[in-house]
Amino acid sequence: MRDTQRSDLGAAVFVLVLGLVAAWQAAVIPTTPLYAQVGPKAIPYLIAAGLIALGIGLVAAALRGGWSHDLEDMQGAPRTNWRALSLLLAGLLANIALIVPFGFTVAATVQFTLVAAAFGSTAHARNVVIAFIVSLGAYALFVKALGVNIGAGVIEALVFGDPG
């Protein structure tokens, strides 16, 4: 089995599992005694059935050799860049972890710096400064001028006196 075929099989199985999860979730929707000609479970079952059928189709396609090796994008595609990918994912996780306890400015600054580093920027200090100024400006615009809360925190409390 070629590498591409093995990963195609993985994708196909994922779709199949998604279909099974959908079927399980459709089954646990409480049956309602309401007068309804088409109940809340009918369409979910239909969609689950569709996903399972497509999953089976994809598994069959993968077993017959897969499809990835024919893709234009895969011809001469560079190898997985683990450094860039993990820096980017770290940027996403950092945002989720930081936005509630520390507020928007901190979260956005860390995210911006990590993502920029993922794409080869080495001027980290400059990125931090740019990100900090831009996100504080964005915070001021959204919260102060528009009245839309995008997440107050430590820095916001210092600069604007907003409670976190």
105 binds another protein (CB under 8 A): no
Q: Say how far residue 142 (Cα) sits from the centre of its chain.
A: 24
138 binds another protein (CB under 8 A): yes
94 binds another protein (CB under 8 A): no
161 binds another protein (CB under 8 A): no
> Would residue 162 be called left, alpha or beta, if left means φ above 0 and alpha means ψ between -120 and 50 degrees?
beta
Q: Residue 114 or 155: which CB sits closer to another protein? A: 114
Among 1, 17, 29, 159, binds another protein (CB under 8 A): 29
Residue pair 108/136 in contact by the 8 Å Cβ criterion: no
Neighbours of 164 (CB within 10 A): 13
Nearest distance from C-beta of residue 75 to another protein, angstroms:
12
101 binds another protein (CB under 8 A): no
**Of 107, 88, 85, nearest in space to 156 by CA:** 107
